[in-house]
Every structure is written in structure tokens, then in C-alpha cells.
Structure 1
Amino acid sequence: MKILVADRISPLGVEYLQKQDGFEVVEAYGSSPEKVLELVADVSAIIVRSDTKVTKEVMAGAPLLKAVGRAGVGVDNIDIEAATEKGVIVMNTPGGNTIATAELTFTHMMCGTRAIVRGATGMREGKWERKELKGSELRAKTLAVLGFGRIGAEVAKRAQAFEMEVIAYDPYLTEDRAKEMEVEKVELEDAFSRADYLTVHMPLTDETRNMVDEDAFSKMKDGVRVFNCARGGIIKETALAEALKSGKVAAAGLDVYEQEPLPEDHEFRSIENLNLTPHLGASTAEAQESVGVEIAEAVAEVLQGGRIRNAINMPSIDPKDIEVLKPYLDLCQRMGGFARQAAMGTASSIHITYWGGIVDFDAVPLTRAVLKGWLSGIAGDEGINDVNAPHKIKALGIEVETIKSS
């Protein structure tokens, strides 16, 4: 079986694939769309990062294709619908960049509180702005974390090491989990009004788009500092620009934008108290090695007929059971979403009871479908799927109990 590695991943990942029996690995970094179409004619799997687009046309031109692996989290460059229709499994690596993104967030916080970028630039220009660049200490300040998944929790740990008070807004964070992490769970309005520093770690959904807008900034303290290394669009860019110019926001740091790459003429580029990085959240040697090896192992396992890891578009079920379980999986996901809405808030536990003929089958995929329905669109730093739903539920401190009743 032939595997196309279309974007550069860790050499250890490529080496892992090359050592597997029956695999031919083709490395073709930076190929044009036309070249990609030519290369996929006889491949069984494609591995990409964010550069190569796996479009509907690519899918159609790859009759042997079984899997697409994304070394990273975002799958915007993969046509998920086309893959699903074709029966191609799409997988990603949701946990590989957690520490890298958390550390970048804290780097932005440090730069924004001590004017590091302006100071360094001034020194290169021959300036000595010692009096002008008076910063602020992190100690004893309040950090509001919007979204308390893996990355949000790691940022909180680092803030606590700097003796900051951490408050967290996440509708699905339980009191027990908040207590365990030694953070205070608050409502969104309280997070806005109490924050000296505010950082965003939520997925971009219809509910979170423009969550931090003009009205939100009006409720914040004068001189608040704001950071986003999650997804562009959660902080309304025009509102942030105005808040920075007026002094309402003393400093901000962004790694993500509504449009990427950020246009050359974007007003953000001329705002002095705003630090910008070009979406570097996962750009560390360790993160890239982790996601490269992880996706190589996942793709190999699928091609070898093993379990499916971190699948975006299909449940991990024994092939012989799929036809029987398919309608139940859809029902379970819908029921999970309904239960979450009916709960009107958080839950400390989820109890699922199965009865009838379905008890003869493995309940794990069904349970995961319920959990995916509960979480979809509201929790975590990455897309919810059947594989990562239990981990996200656990991270929120929610216990899950399943019972089979004949």
C-alpha cells in the first residue's frame, strides 16, 4: 500500500511508516494541486499538515484511498463531507499541541505585560526607552480563562505558578473539576468584569463567534490585557482594535485571526500595543514530532485493519456491526445533545442505560455517541469526535455510568 506524505512531518513519523511491512512511502512536500492529483491515483492514505488541500477532486482521483491523516488539529483543508461520502476515514492529532499552545499563550502574556517586543525593537533602533516602558507584574492579578479544556487548564497551571488568581468561564466545567484545579468557576459577565488578564481557549462555533465584542469590552476594567491563541473570530477584531486605540485594553496578543494569513494592510499591523504572531501555536519541535509520529501510527493502524484513532468522521466500530448499530449511533448522539440542552447547564455525572437486543453489542461506540452529542460545539480546544469525547468529559470532571439491562 502506498502512503503519500504531502506535507513535511517529523522524520520519525516517516521512518515509522517506512519500517512497516507492505508500505511504500512517497514524500512530496510543497506539491502543486495538479501534482497532488497526479500522485494520489494509487495511494491508500494521505498525510498532510495545513498546506496541502485534500479536496473533493483529490478524493475522486484516489480510488484506493482509505484514510487521510492530519498532523495537527484543524481539518479545514480536508473536505470532510466528501471523505465521509467516499468512506475515507479522516483522523487528526488533538493532543499533540496542548503544551506548545499553552506556552505560547503565556509568552504573549509576558510580552504584553512587560513591553518586551517594543523594548527589543527599540534597542535595535538605537533607543533606550527605560522610563517609557513601565510594565506590570503578574503576581496577584486576576486571569480569566474562557474555555477550560486541556489548553486552558495548562495555562491556568502556569498562571498559578506566577501567583495569579485564576477564574474560569466554561458552562460545562464542573465545580469538582474547578476545585481540583484550584480555580474559581464564574459566569461570563463576571469573567469580563473581574479580569486583569483575559485569555481565550474555546472552539469557534456559532455560540462563540464574536463572544468578546464591543459590549464585552465595555464591561472590562480599564487597562485589561487580552490574548487569543485559540481561534480567530472569537474576539471581534474591529472591537479589539478600537479598545486598544482608546486605551481600554492596555495590551493584547494574538496568534489567530479571522482571515489567515493576516492581510498586509490589516489595521492590526499598525497598533503598537498589540503583539502578533503568525499562528505559531503548534510550532515547536516537540509538538511537531509528537503529531508526526502520532498520525503515522494512526494511519498505519487503520491500513493494517486495526483500531481507528481520533477519527473525525466515523465511529470506532467492528466493521461487521456497523450496519446494525448505525441507526442507534445517530439516535444516541441526538439524545446526548438533547440531554445537554435539557440540563440547562453543567452535570456532575451522565447515566446511560441500554436494554433490549442492543445489549448484545459493544456499548462503547454508543456511549461515545451520547458523549459526542453532549459536547458538540460547546467544549474543548479541538473538534469533538467519538474518540476524544470520553477524554473531554473526564477533563470536565463528569462521571459516566453505563448499565445494560436485559
Structure 2
Amino acid sequence: MSLPRVFVSNHTVPETMYDAFGTSVEVIRNTEYDRASILKLLPRVKPHGLFWCAGVTLDKEILDAAGPQLKVVGCMSSGYNHVDVAELKSRGIPVAYVPSTAKDSVSNVAILLALAASRRFTEGRWNIEQGRWKNHFDAQWLLGQEISDSTVGIVGFGGIGHAIAKKLKAFGIAKLLYTGHKEKPEAKELGAQFVDQETLTKESDFIFISAPLNEKTRKMCNADFFSKMKNTGILVNVSRGGLVDHDALLKALKDGEIYSAGLDVTDPEPLNVDSELLKLPNIVITPHIGASTFRARNAMGNLVAKNILLGLKGEKLLTPLDI
């Protein structure tokens, strides 16, 4: 009797994932991870499970190519804007994701970006490179903003938002606000106050974006959003680049409408090398490395594998996407 087949869309996934699968399935890995190669291989493989880790939208075309024998999909990501949830639901295919596995690594990068943006790291580095390091006795040189005693706003209080809030308490922040679909008991335990979006935008010194990308949140950080922020305010986005209108952000940073920004995600990705954002001194940009630690990636891969094994048996997934 042949083993169930699992198609891995990206050959660079952690090797520990293969140990998690063991010998109970036949694993076929894609060696290129672009859409064309995936569409070419899927009809040949006829997978029973999909291990999805690629910058490719999982849509009707992909599912048609996979075939009707497909039983389960596992996504190695906490976001799912690249997944056609409605199509999967219509086919009765359960899908797993990894909502909190990388919360520590992502929240650490969020705080790193907040500190770097508020303390003018990009501008400081440029000064070093250009030989303009001023004498330390110039008391006005490269003054930045303090995160201690500040008001922090978190948009999206899921696993990552909660981890950011918990860690920021150690910095002695004065006030913690958050917004989302509903109040969260875990937020109340941290002394966080549930407010509407406008209140959070106007009152916060630091705004962290950790909400999912969907049609309601797409470009939520737009010109109107920035006009309501303090001119000393700092925006940090570790969610998805599409939540921020980059043209509006560029103008807000140039005009001094907001103080600075820290981005681990951009739109598009990779960011164009000629992007005007890269020419600004008051922004810190990292190349979507929030979950890029050995520990986080191994944990993500292993969890996806475990979910797929359960799905192949028709059992309840550990971290199902609610579709």
C-alpha cells in the first residue's frame, strides 16, 4: 500500500520538518518554489497534503492542479492573506497555520525597530559613514524619543501583539492602548485599555501594527491615519506591508507629520532598490526577518508537519485556520 504524498512547495524549509513527518508519508519537495514550477509538478505528484511555504497565492488554480485527492493544507506562516480561504472552504479542505509559533522572534524585532526608529539609528549610521560624527559635547546632536513613560498603541492584539505588550512593560511605558475586533482578557491583565482606532492613533507615541491583512485593513495606515498621529509619533509594522499606504507614509515622513517609522514588511517585497523610502533618514527597514531565527523556523515547520499528519488521518488540526 502506497504512502500518502505530501508536496512541499519550498525546498528551503527546515530539515527538522522531515523528521517530524517520519516515515508515515512520502515527501516530494519542489526545488524552485515559483508558481510555474509548482503548477507543473502538482498534477504529477497528486498530493494528499500540501506544505505551503512560498510567496505564491494558494488559489483555485493551485488547488485544481493538486487534484481532488487533496485532504489538508498546512501553511508555514502566521498570516494567511495569500490563501483563498473561500475556495478551500468550498472544497471542504482544512487548512492549518502557525499563529503564535514565532511570536517571540517577531515581537523582538518589533521592539528593535521601535528603539532604532526612535533613536535615529539610520541617520546615525549615515553620519558615521560620511565622517560627520560630531563631538559628544554637542548636546543637541541626534536627540531622539524615549519609549519609557510613553503611550503605546497596538493595532491587533493577537499572539504577536500580546508578546509586544508584555515585553514593553519592562521598559516602563506609561500607558498601553490597543484596538481590534473585541476586548481581550489577556490585555486587561497587562493593564491595556481597549479603545477605538482614532483614539489610539491620536494618543499614542508609538504605534505597533500587528493585525492581519484583509480588505478591511488594507492601507489602513493612510494619509488620514498619519494626519491624526502626533508629529513625534513612531509607526512600527511587523505584520504585512499592505496595511500601510507607502506613498502616504513617505509624505508623512518627509513633511515631518510623524517622527519616524520602523518596517519589517513592505509592499512590494522585496522593496524596490530605488524606493524613496530608502533615501529617508527617519526610517529603519529590515527585510521581513521577524520570524527568521533557527528556533522559530524549526518550530513553525514542525507544527505544520504535525498538522498535516493529523489532517491526513481526518483528525482535528492543532492550529486550524477558522474557515
SS at match of 2:259: strand
CA distance in 2, matches of 1:263, 1:73: 25
1:128 paired to 2:133: yes
Provide closer, same or farther for how the CA distance between residues 309 and 222 of structure 1 changes in structure 2, counting only shifts above 3 A. Answer: same
SS at match of 2:27: strand
1:199 paired to 2:208: yes
SS at match of 2:54: coil
1:283 paired to 2:288: no
CA contact (8 A) 1:148 1:173 kept: no
CA contact (8 A) 1:5 1:29 kept: no
Give the equivalent residue in structure 2 for 1:14: 18
1:117 paired to 2:122: yes
Q: Greater shift after overlay, 188-197 or 27-36?
A: 27-36
SS at match of 2:296: helix
CA contact (8 A) 2:178 2:192 kept: no
1:103 paired to 2:103: no
Code of the residue aligned with 2:196 in structure 1: it is E
Match of 2:29 among 27, 30, 37: 27
SS at match of 2:273: coil
Code of the residue aligned with 1:101 in structure 2: it is V
Shift of 1:210: 3.6
CA contact (8 A) 1:213 1:240 kept: yes
Q: Kindly provide the CA deviation profile for residues 157-205 of structure 1, in whole angstroms up to 9, marking residues without a partner as x.
A: 2221010123223254438554311223333333223222222222234
Provide closer, same or farther for how the CA distance between residues 89 and 186 of structure 1 changes in structure 2, counting only shifts above 3 A. Answer: closer
CA contact (8 A) 1:147 1:168 kept: no
- After TM superposition, the runs of 4+ consecutive aligned structure 1 residues lying more than 6 A away are none
Q: Kindly provide the CA deviation profile for residues 202-260 of structure 1, in whole angstroms up to 9, marking residues without a partner as x.
A: 22344434433333333332222111112334333232222211222121111223433
Give the equivalent residue in structure 1 for 2:156: 147
Within 5 A, what are the aligned runs for 1:54-65?
A: 54-63=58-67, 64-65=69-70
Structure 1 residues not aligned, in runs of 5+? 313-384, 387-406
Code of the residue aligned with 1:150 in structure 2: it is G
Give the equivalent residue in structure 2 for 1:262: 271
CA contact (8 A) 1:156 1:166 kept: no
CA distance in 1, matches of 2:207, 2:116: 14
Give the equivalent residue in structure 1 for 2:6: 3
Provide closer, same or farther for how the CA distance between residues 87 and 179 of structure 1 changes in structure 2, counting only shifts above 3 A. Answer: closer
| Alignment coverage as a number of residue pairs | 312
Provide closer, same or farther for how the CA distance between residues 75 and 201 of structure 1 changes in structure 2, counting only shifts above 3 A. Answer: closer
- Identity rate, percent: 27
Give the equivalent residue in structure 2 for 1:180: 189
Shift of 1:273: 0.7
CA distance in 2, matches of 1:239, 1:287: 33
Provide closer, same or farther for how the CA distance between residues 143 and 79 of structure 1 changes in structure 2, counting only shifts above 3 A. Answer: closer
Q: TM-score, normalised by structure 1?
A: 0.69
Q: Greater shift after overlay, 254-263 or 277-286?
A: 254-263
CA distance in 1, matches of 2:285, 2:304: 29
Within 5 A, what are the aligned runs for 1:7-406?
A: 7=10, 8-17=12-21, 19-21=22-24, 23-40=25-42, 41=44, 42-63=46-67, 64-129=69-134, 131=138, 132-170=141-179, 172-174=181-183, 177-312=186-321, 385=322
CA distance in 2, matches of 1:206, 1:126: 46
Provide closer, same or farther for how the CA distance between residues 166 and 289 of structure 1 changes in structure 2, counting only shifts above 3 A. Answer: farther
* Higher normalized contact order (CA 8 Å, seq sep 6+, divided by chain length): 2
CA distance in 1, matches of 2:255, 2:201: 18
Provide closer, same or farther for how the CA distance between residues 221 and 13 of structure 1 changes in structure 2, counting only shifts above 3 A. Answer: same
Provide closer, same or farther for how the CA distance between residues 77 and 210 of structure 1 changes in structure 2, counting only shifts above 3 A. Answer: closer
Provide closer, same or farther for how the CA distance between residues 33 and 136 of structure 1 changes in structure 2, counting only shifts above 3 A. Answer: closer
CA contact (8 A) 1:160 1:166 kept: no
Code of the residue aligned with 1:219 in structure 2: it is K
CA contact (8 A) 1:4 1:47 kept: yes
CA distance in 2, matches of 1:304, 1:175: 34
Shift of 1:295: 0.3
Rg larger in 1 or in 2? 1
Provide closer, same or farther for how the CA distance between residues 266 and 301 of structure 1 changes in structure 2, counting only shifts above 3 A. Answer: same
Q: TM-score, normalised by structure 2?
A: 0.85
Structure 2 residues not aligned, in runs of 5+? none
